[in-house]
Structure 1
Amino acid sequence: MHSPSKAAAVPLTSPVTHGTFCPQSQRRFVLIAAILASALGFIDGSILAIATPAIRVNLGASLAEAQWISNAYALTLSALILAGGAAGDRFGLRRAFVAGIALFIVASLACALAPNVIVLIAFRALQGIGAAIMVPGSLAIIAKAYPKKERGRAIGIWAAASALTTALGPVFGGFVLSAFGDGIWRAIFAINLPLGLISIWLLLA
């Protein structure tokens, strides 16, 4: 039993009281970081559908190889998403989430620099592994950062933003390719780098 004096010493803003490690003033930054990270994972899958013909021409890929550019990402993401979610419990939620984002952006940079289709497929699979850690981690870290009474609203904002970025992926990809030509497809992967770094900075800072 704790004495009354000890119980009174626990501040009202304590993580114990609210079930959260995140002060109220910082929660919006966690939400922004989670939205950015999950957006990277969702938009990357949808935007590539528009860019695939340009990649085929640029890298001389066959139809089967072009399909694997998308499938390598989708398969590793779907196969490992449960394990990626469990990584947060095993290694710490923030540590696993940041690691997933870092792996995703490193793989994205490698995709942007890929000299041939085989290398691109390999790093697309690596992207899928990063996304499998990152996507469930984005939702879990919101649940961890927000107390129960505020959690539903935060998750709703995250879900709406994720749906919007997924829908806008093909539109954005089509606009970029139309405006700058087929060779710009590499920039579609490179844009993940600054967005991912902003997300990591928000989580760590």
Structure 2
Amino acid sequence: MPDAAARLHAIRAALADAARVAKRDPAEITLVAVSKNRSAEQIEELIEAGQRHFGENRVQEATTKWPNLRRRHPDVVLHMIGRLQSNKAEEAAALFDVIHSLDRPSLATALVKAGWSGPTYVQVNVGEEQQKGGVAIADLPDFLEAVRDLQITGLMAIPPAEVEPAPFFALLAKLVQRHDVSGLSMGMSGDYRAAAMLGATVVRVGTALFED
């Protein structure tokens, strides 16, 4: 079994085990392969192994490699998972299928103007970190009301580094219930199992998929 296929199989199996422990259907969880800083050849290996959802952090990088890849693999779903500049909204709307990082009114306005109608996650700053994007928890009700023109699929968060992530995942799960949205985009290479057990519908895994 090629390395890429082996890594993909192992992570899918771990996600399925975590889901079953939490009495969830593994099919409820979408694995997004974070392909930032990865070559088209590395991405192709995962596509050939059966992976179909990929995530990029920057519009500029995505535009250099994904148009050709998508022509060869039109069933791939491309997720924008990094902070998106408002002046890149039109490019993002043309290239991506899902946006995970809506975090301010100006970006919402730019996306509406660009004709964006795809699934959209609101990023929440669950750790109240000044250096990190995301809507403050206290501001979330008003923000969700202000962005009703977009298709809000759920909430996304990145917990503080080097801290136990489970309490932040549990908090985001409570916020999803409170605000009557369904999607939970949370969990990365180091903590995707915990995220799956606590309700994630999307996990974003990079290093564990691309490196031994």
Quickly name the TM-score band, shorter chain normalised: under 0.3
Q: Which has the higher contact order (CA 8 A, sep 6+)?
A: 1
Larger radius of gyration: 1
Which has the larger strand fraction?
Answer: 2
Which has the larger helix fraction?
Answer: 1
TM-score, length of structure 2 as denominator length:
0.25
